[in-house]
């Protein structure tokens, strides 16, 4: 069974902020996250990507896409025909995530350029240590949630793609997988949330240490939306429910301000159904 990597906590130096809207004092701001709807085959839990900083902008696009014949048939149809024209679901969102592991890397490399907090060369597990890999751990979380760390059949005999080399080191140059995912921009019932899959993403590393360890990066995400559904008779609810605001979409103990917390709940009437 593949190991489910947990994105490491962010440095508290970048987690405390002044509480606005008249609250006064200081505290931790609520940040968003992404999470699988169900575990990818072979995994026992839900992969997550926690936001270190909430995106400053969120672009949402709703498009109608159909062929000209469908439009013509609708415009010049029999007056008794009241059926609506259904189009392909061409809806998507895009946003950028900033990650900064400056404080995690502070003083973690010696004069020889070797990490002082872990054994070198990297062993399994060290690749997910921000004191050694910097924002590489956040890039790794994105690779995991898009299925790039899953072993996959190649379609050529018994050959499989594998993110793990013979000595156990992760080498995640694998294809991405389209997998149903939730993205939450906040965790209150009134927060903005979407259901779909990560269609593509790109990383821009913007700052390195003197030993070329990635220290800061921007991850641009394009997210394709999928339709949600309500429960059928005798069947569990699909993603999303009517009147989802009747209860909090997140159960107590769900991710709020940092990685590694428990997963989302499945409270009836909540977002997760």
**What is the reported pLDDT for 197?**
93
Q: How many CA atoms lie within 13 A of 237 on its CB side?
A: 17
**What is the reported pLDDT for 244?**
37
Per-residue CA distances from 90 to 66, 86, 139, 199, 247 (Å):
10, 11, 27, 12, 29
Block mean pLDDT (10 aa), the chain, length 273: 84 70 64 89 90 93 71 67 66 95 84 66 67 91 92 71 67 82 77 89 94 92 82 50 40 39 39 48
Residue in the block written with tokens 């709807």: 37
Distance CA 241, CA 271 (A): 6
In this prediction the pTM is 0.77
β-strand 214-225 against 192-208: which pairing, if any? antiparallel
**What is the reported pLDDT for 7?**
94
Helix, strand, coil shares of the chain as percentages rounded to 5? 15, 25, 60
**What is the reported pLDDT for 23?**
60
Query: In 3-state terms, what secondary structure has residue 190?
Result: coil
**What is the reported pLDDT for 273?**
43
**What is the reported pLDDT for 264?**
41
Distance CA 11, CA 52 (A): 9
Distance CA 235, CA 26 (A): 45
Nearest to 30 by CA among 187, 260, 204: 187
Query: In 3-state terms, what secondary structure has residue 133?
Result: helix
**What is the reported pLDDT for 165?**
65
Q: How many CA atoms lie within 13 A of 9 on its CB side?
A: 9
Q: What angle do CA 98, 104, 108 make, to 5 degrees?
A: 140
Positions of E strands within the chain: 16-18, 26-28, 33-36, 48-50, 59-65, 88-100, 152-153, 160-161, 181-185, 192-208, 214-225
């Amino acid at each position: 069974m593949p190991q489910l990597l947990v994105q490491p906590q962010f440095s508290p130096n970048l987690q405390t902020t002044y509480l606005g809207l008249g609250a006064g004092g200081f505290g931790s701001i609520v940040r968003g996250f992404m999470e699988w709807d169900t575990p990818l085959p072979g995994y026992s839990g839900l992969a997550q990507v926690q936001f270190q900083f909430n995106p400053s902008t969120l672009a949402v696009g709703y498009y109608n896409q159909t062929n000209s014949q469908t439009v013509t048939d609708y415009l010049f149809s029999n007056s008794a025909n009241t059926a609506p024209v259904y189009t392909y679901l061409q809806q998507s969102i895009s946003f950028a995530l900033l990650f900064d592991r400056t404080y995690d890397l502070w003083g973690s490399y010696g004069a020889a350029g070797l990490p002082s907090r872990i054994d070198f060369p990297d062993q399994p597990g060290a690749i997910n240590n921000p004191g050694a890999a910097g924002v590489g751990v956040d890039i790794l979380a994105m690779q995991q949630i898009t299925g790039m760390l899953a072993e996959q059949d190649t379609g050529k005999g018994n050959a499989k793609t594998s993110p793990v080399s013979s000595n156990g080191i992760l080498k995640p140059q694998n294809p991405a997988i389209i997998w149903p995912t939730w993205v939450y921009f906040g965790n209150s019932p009134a927060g903005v949330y979407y259901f779909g899959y990560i269609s593509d993403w790109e990383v821009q590393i913007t700052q390195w240490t003197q030993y070329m360890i990635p220290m800061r990066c921007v991850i641009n995400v394009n997210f394709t939306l999928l339709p949600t559904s309500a429960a059928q008779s005798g069947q569990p609810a699909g993603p999303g429910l009517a009147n989802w605001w009747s209860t909090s979409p997140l159960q107590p103990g769900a991710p709020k301000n940092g990685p590694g917390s428990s997963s989302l709940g499945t409270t009836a009437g909540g977002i997760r159904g």
